[in-house]
Structure 1
Amino acid sequence: SSFVNGLTFQPTEEEGIEFSDENRFIVGRIAPGTAYFGLPAAQGTLTPIAEALLDQQIRTYFKQVLGYGQSLARGYFAKPAISTVQEYQNVMMASGVKSRPGDPGYTPDTFAPLVESDFGDEGETPVSALCNGLVRRAVADGESEADWIMVGAATGRGGRSVEQLSAAPLGEGYYEKTIQTVRDGLAAATKLGKTYSVWAYTWDQGESNYTTTVSTKSAYQYAEYMMAIFDGMTREIVGITGQKFRPYLFTYQVAAHRKYDLDNMSIALAQWRLSRKRPDVVLAAPAYIFPTVEDVLHLTNEASWLLGEYRSRAMYETMVRRSGKWRPLEPVSVDWKSQAIDIKFHVPRGELVLDNALAALTANFGFDIRENGILVTDLISSVSVTAFDTVRISLSRAAAPDSTLSYGRGRPTDPKASGPATGARGNLRDTHGLYDQVQSPLGNTFALHNACVMFEFNRSTGF
């Protein structure tokens, strides 16, 4: 192996040369019979979205938010719905926020005030809280309410993998229904003589890729499928609306691996890495802080609303205030010594705290070390905050060279659950909630502290 002009060369098992990015994703290959940069030629050539510029959004009269994903995107078991009054001027298709093209009673060209309602097992989606929270923040910052009219839609489907939510032929048609929702939204706006554009997507998915044997659990493949969905949507949407800017994607970080008795969090890591790599992907919050119903998987109605509130802050800072892309509480560097590990974090507001404000206390506040893939429970002697942005993990002995530090992964002996009470979780947060509090439609007040993302750091490969 060698290091030449910033490139590191190392032997691989495959013949040829592979190019990888900073997250070790393969982005190109030169070998006998093949040469590509980007997607392999066998997957087709994608047209660049040259005309859709990021962070160049133009305010139209109606601004669409498309909530996509599986059950959490649809508010499964988050009943009863609680956002039943529209306090601003936000709208949805008249047949409902969860109504999709082709569904019975769907109205393709008429808006109604954005409210949530129960539909079978589905209740409160995160969409209303996102749209309403965004407008509330804009008005509090001096903007006119009439200038911020959002259109909410939740077009996903419960129990579906990233493959099933993809475009045809891989998917089951929900991607195409989402695109038709945009056509219908434009038609409804045009009928009113108003302008219309798509400002943002949201993504609540990952649980099904932990459960099914036919769906990928590969972090690399998941990331490729996930971004193929939204890059494809943007290409089609730009052609439909004529907008010159690309929507941002606001995601959560799935936290359900222990629910399915898995000792890995590959999908959660893929979502975090995408938020670090892609300027258009924003991770608003990890899912482990949101309370669940009895199945210890789906969110309560108030938790679903709260997820939307966290996203509204991320969207407001990114797209309205234009303060730069929102970043969650996440690690930025690790200094691993024989006696201690010092981790420096990006802290959105305030300072780091280790406590049970967002999740029940867990061993080592959620930090663990594995040697050769095996959990070592007595290696961490203490965890403490040593500066506003730094955590120190003191060690009982020097760790092996192949060690991996994890946060929020949980242990094989932990309950088969997700959520802040018994699921895989951590106890590291900032103090943003001292300065940003919200009240739910049920009258409860929440301090919007930022919880640390789930992550892993390998001594050999890094994050």
Structure 2
Amino acid sequence: MSVVETLMTYANQERIDEALVARDEAVQALDAVKAAVLDAATQVRTFADLQLIAGTGVGVLAEVYADPAAPATANPDGSNRNGRYRWSGSAWTYDGPSVGVLGQRTATLEGNFASDAARDWIVWVLRTLAGDGLLSIEQDGTFRMPAGAIRPGSGSALWQLVDPRGMVAALLDNTRWATAGLSVEHTGRQESLLGFALETPADDPTGRVLYRIRLSSGLVLAQWLADGTVEIGGLKLTTGGIALPGMTLASDGSSSSNLGLDAMPLDDPAALLRLRVGNMIVAKIGTDGTVHVPRIQTYAGGSTSGFTAEEIAAADAYAAAYSAGVNGRQVTAVRPLLPGLNQFDIRGQSLAVGYETHPAAMTSQRLDNRMIGGSVHAASAPWTPFGSTALSPLVATVRDSASATLLTPEQIAALTFGDDAFGETVLECALDHLRQVYLDRRGLSADPSLLFVATESGQGGQPIANFVPGASANCYARIAGAMTQGKAAATGAALPWQLVAWPWLQGEQDYTASGIDKATYRATFETIRAAANADALAAATAGAGDARPPACFMYQTGGAYVRQASNLAIGQAQLELALERPDVFMASPSYFVPDKGGHLTTNGVRWLGAIFGKVMARILIDRRDWEPLHPVRLLWRARSALLAFHTPEGALQWGLPYVQGVATDYATKGFSARDDAGDIPLTSVQIAGQRVVLLAFGRDVVGTPIIEYGQQNSCAGNGCLRDSDGTVSTTAYTYLPSTGMDATENIAALVGKPYPQNNWCAHFSMPAIAA
């Protein structure tokens, strides 16, 4: 720390605002302070010590006032004052920046801000060129952003961090920073710029402890000591190595820089502390107090795997760079949201239609989303609406599959658990999330000039070949019919029309019946995509002449529909399409949400819809690229494989998929491997860094190993790998027993909470490269 920074640390609370401004200006003219005074000031730690220095007042210390490098009339008022403290020879005084200097600074800022006269409680608002609000400063001192707000606290709290729902996520007061169940408190003896009360704790009169982290229950989880040691329960991290009760790991002096300790890492909200070597996590303490230590497998040569710590760190860095590239890439290849009626038509098989997803949960429309007539479902083929052809508020309905009638609440409650009536679809919750983001970005509660309308044009039990235009099953006629009705509804409302996106949920029949290979599935999808996009562009009256296609948001077929002999052909084809086509985005696999043995429960389809909405908002509003969680590098050596993953948000972690409503774990976490000699047993699977997974093989490899995730035999088409995305869904898990909802949907860990937005790993079947 420099002399100026040290002096600034002791500035009293009354000068914080000025000090923070001065800190950003160039440091000048230290010669004006006597060397003896500066040396003494850098050695002391308490106010009492500082007051012994001649000429100082309580807390009034900072850097030199004069700027000898500036002309005498550098400022508009003819002064060279730069807003710093000065030493008069007998005392420290502060003059502050001149009126002219403040005027110059204000004029510079005004060019970057736009006043928001429409809402007089907002003092300033920073917008993008597209008009989206990025940051606003309100009259009460609140700084508000799309992801939440930082606002002045109440009572003893100086500041509060709040999430988009207004819930306080963290607070800062004079002694601590705290979140739910966790408190970080100063226990050292230094005065802080922000006014922390630092005092020697009663149980540590020697000053041995500088900082502590403890739960609200009083349990001390970690301490930072004055000698640099970190204590985590019985674990001690010192400059000489790592010590545990009965064991010491000594440093050889060559790689101590690889040892790191992360406190409350932003990329893993469930972690309180993490111990890592390079980027490999070797131990973690969760916010609930549990300690996680990855399973360690010892190999010949003394390494914990066939790969060194440096190779693991390099793979982690490669994955991080890949993810940064995806997240920084602008989306320009698909149509944007436009004024008028923007149609979202969901297509595919039974999971698109909503087979068995009853009872309906979204029975009222809280925003201004629309459907055509009385349902997103058609009353008859090719696509005839229920009742009126006009726009109406979007709600979930249940359609009897045999009689093609909409069921009453009493009839819905009487359905058996597995009745194949068509119920809620992915679109209801997806558009709720998308619409909320859209309106929030514009500071609106509704926007009749730019509307969303949802339709469903799928057909259950159909292989992909039957959706090709002209196929005997005539499935494509439903797709064309839904677009025709969407355009007619727009005309009736005097609005221009476009198909802006089409979710695609299909592939089950191609796993279980048609048995087509990856190449055939890809080619058939391309035929359907080209035809559907051409028809949509030809009919569009919003953005007419824009040749960019609507976006396709697909899911990945998985769970009970996977077949071992297929080698994950359908899922791999869907993944490759999403990674290679600029207008196709895989929003999510479906295996982790609650299901009924294949078809999803009401909450399962709503949960999946919430994730679709998040991804739609990223593409259609943020215009940032998206790829699902998937491997970007697969290496193998000896009896080990090192897999590096693109993670959309944060670090990898294990989760439990809800298989028929039961949180289910798998010994291999969903991974399997095979080679020329057959299946390769896995003896260990561990997350070894932020974005890497290590596999240990139970035998030598013959030929080239194929690494798979989500196979039938190993994990029934499921898996446990996900990222740390903390996005808050606009919809919540709902249990409605009075509507006929089955008791299996009453999952205590989920009911009443927003649907988790972790992104789960896509199924894949890929060869590893010899390292």
TM-score (norm 1): 0.79
AA aligned to 2:575 is W
Q: CA deviation at 1:272?
A: 0.6
Distance in 1 (alpha carbons) for counterparts of 2:724 and 2:367: 29
Q: CA deviation at 1:260?
A: 5.5
What is the number of equivalent residue pairs in this alignment? Answer: 392
Secondary structure at the aligned position of 1:316 is classed as helix
Assess, with a 3 A threshold, how the Cα gap between structure 1 residues 441 and 322 changes in structure 2: closer, same or farther. Answer: same
Residue 270 of structure 1 corresponds to 573
Distance in 1 (alpha carbons) for counterparts of 2:487 and 2:684: 56
Distance in 2 (alpha carbons) for counterparts of 1:70 and 1:355: 28
AA aligned to 2:716 is G
CA deviations 1:320-379 (Å, max 9, x no partner) are 1112x21111111112111421111111111011242666211311111112272222xx
Q: Percent sequence identity over matched residues?
A: 24
Residue 81 of structure 1 corresponds to 360
4+ aligned runs moved over 6 Å, structure 1: none
CA deviations 1:82-103 (Å, max 9, x no partner) are 1111111111110410115546
Residue 42 of structure 1 corresponds to none
Assess, with a 3 A threshold, how the Cα gap between structure 1 residues 107 and 332 changes in structure 2: closer, same or farther. Answer: same
2:112 is aligned with 1:112: no
Q: Which moved more, 1:80-89 or 1:398-407?
A: 398-407
2:499 is aligned with 1:198: yes
Q: CA deviation at 1:127?
A: 1.3
CA deviations 1:270-313 (Å, max 9, x no partner) are 101111111111111111112111xx110001111111111111
CA deviations 1:223-264 (Å, max 9, x no partner) are 111121121111011111143131010011001465666563
Residue 429 of structure 1 corresponds to 722
Q: Which moved more, 1:154-163 or 1:452-461?
A: 452-461
- Compare relative contact order (CA 8 Å, sep 6+) and give the higher one, 1 or 2: 1
CA contact (8 A) 2:657 2:719 kept: no
Residue 230 of structure 1 corresponds to 529
> Which is higher, the Rg of structure 1 or of structure 2?
2
Distance in 2 (alpha carbons) for counterparts of 1:279 and 1:159: 29
CA contact (8 A) 1:403 1:459 kept: yes
Assess, with a 3 A threshold, how the Cα gap between structure 1 residues 360 and 256 changes in structure 2: closer, same or farther. Answer: closer
Secondary structure at the aligned position of 2:486 is classed as helix
Distance in 1 (alpha carbons) for counterparts of 2:722 and 2:368: 34
Which residue of the other structure, out of 341, 365, 370, is the alignment partner of 2:641? 341
Residue 437 of structure 2 corresponds to 137
TM-score (norm 2): 0.48
Residue 665 of structure 2 corresponds to 361
AA aligned to 1:269 is Q
CA contact (8 A) 2:634 2:767 kept: no
CA contact (8 A) 1:401 1:459 kept: no
Residue 488 of structure 2 corresponds to 187
Assess, with a 3 A threshold, how the Cα gap between structure 1 residues 448 and 402 changes in structure 2: closer, same or farther. Answer: same
Secondary structure at the aligned position of 1:203 is classed as strand
CA contact (8 A) 1:248 1:281 kept: yes
CA contact (8 A) 2:558 2:571 kept: yes
Q: Cα RMSD between the aligned structures?
A: 2.4
CA contact (8 A) 2:511 2:561 kept: no
Distance in 1 (alpha carbons) for counterparts of 2:645 and 2:598: 28
Residue 26 of structure 1 corresponds to none
Assess, with a 3 A threshold, how the Cα gap between structure 1 residues 69 and 187 changes in structure 2: closer, same or farther. Answer: same
- What are structure 1's unaligned runs of at least 5 residues? 1-52, 415-421
AA aligned to 1:391 is V
Residue 590 of structure 2 corresponds to 287
Distance in 1 (alpha carbons) for counterparts of 2:601 and 2:632: 32
Distance in 2 (alpha carbons) for counterparts of 1:403 and 1:115: 49
Distance in 1 (alpha carbons) for counterparts of 2:385 and 2:354: 20
Residue 417 of structure 1 corresponds to none
Which residue of the other structure, out of 459, 470, 479, is the alignment partner of 1:157? 459
Secondary structure at the aligned position of 2:466 is classed as coil
**Within 5 A, what are the aligned runs for 1:1-400?**
54-99=333-378, 101-102=381-382, 106=386, 109-120=389-400, 121-142=421-442, 144=444, 145-146=446-447, 148-168=450-470, 170-212=471-513, 215-242=514-541, 243=544, 244=546, 245-256=548-559, 262=565, 264-293=567-596, 296-323=597-624, 325-356=625-656, 360-372=664-676, 374-377=678-681, 380-400=682-702
Q: CA deviation at 1:152?
A: 0.2
Secondary structure at the aligned position of 1:289 is classed as coil
Assess, with a 3 A threshold, how the Cα gap between structure 1 residues 456 and 373 changes in structure 2: closer, same or farther. Answer: farther
Distance in 2 (alpha carbons) for counterparts of 1:159 and 1:461: 41
Distance in 1 (alpha carbons) for counterparts of 2:618 and 2:337: 16
- What are structure 2's unaligned runs of at least 5 residues? 1-331, 401-420, 735-751
Secondary structure at the aligned position of 1:363 is classed as coil
Q: CA deviation at 1:153?
A: 0.5
Distance in 2 (alpha carbons) for counterparts of 1:159 and 1:440: 30
CA contact (8 A) 2:675 2:706 kept: yes
